[in-house]
Amino acid sequence: MATHSSPSPAPAKPGTAEDLAAHKATYDGFLAFSTAGSLICLYIVVALVVFRFVDSPLNLLLGFGGILIGVLTSVIALRMGGKWMMPVAILVLYGLFTAMNVHMS
């Protein structure tokens, strides 16, 4: 059997300050990744509308470009600590631009 040179640290006891801090950090990370994932899904939904309903020779560029910009802005916002105004504003502009192109098609 293997012998360990140092014992593993004991887990924090429930209800202690260490346990609550770890729980809050885990919960904040979950919320941040859930928000980023939801925004990326919305960018993909708008891109699917572009692929199907925009009759333009550049609809593939517009669709994949929107997905790429959406993923990049969501990752940047995630790294900035959850400042979601930029990706949400770009999503709204992307959606309005798509709606305008669908209406003109």
pLDDT tens per residue, range 37-83: 999 999 999 999 999 998 888 899 999 999 999 999 999 999 998 89
> In which band, very low, low, confident or very high, does the pLDDT at 16 lie, cut at 50, 70 and 90?
confident
C-beta separation of 42 from 91 below 8 A: yes
- For residue 8, what is the enclosing H or E element? none
More confident residue, 12 or 45: 45
Please tell me the predicted confidence (pLDDT) of residue 4.
Answer: 67
| 3: amino acid identity, one letter | T
φ/ψ of residue 47, rounded to 5: -65, -35
Query: What is the helix (H) or strand (E) element at residue 61, kind and residue range?
Result: helix 59-79
CA torsion 94→95→96→102, rounded to 10°?
110
8 band by pLDDT with thresholds 50, 70 and 90: low
- Using only C-alpha atoms, the chain has a radius of gyration, in whole angstroms, of 22
pLDDT for the residue numbered 18: 77
**Whole-prediction pTM value?**
0.80
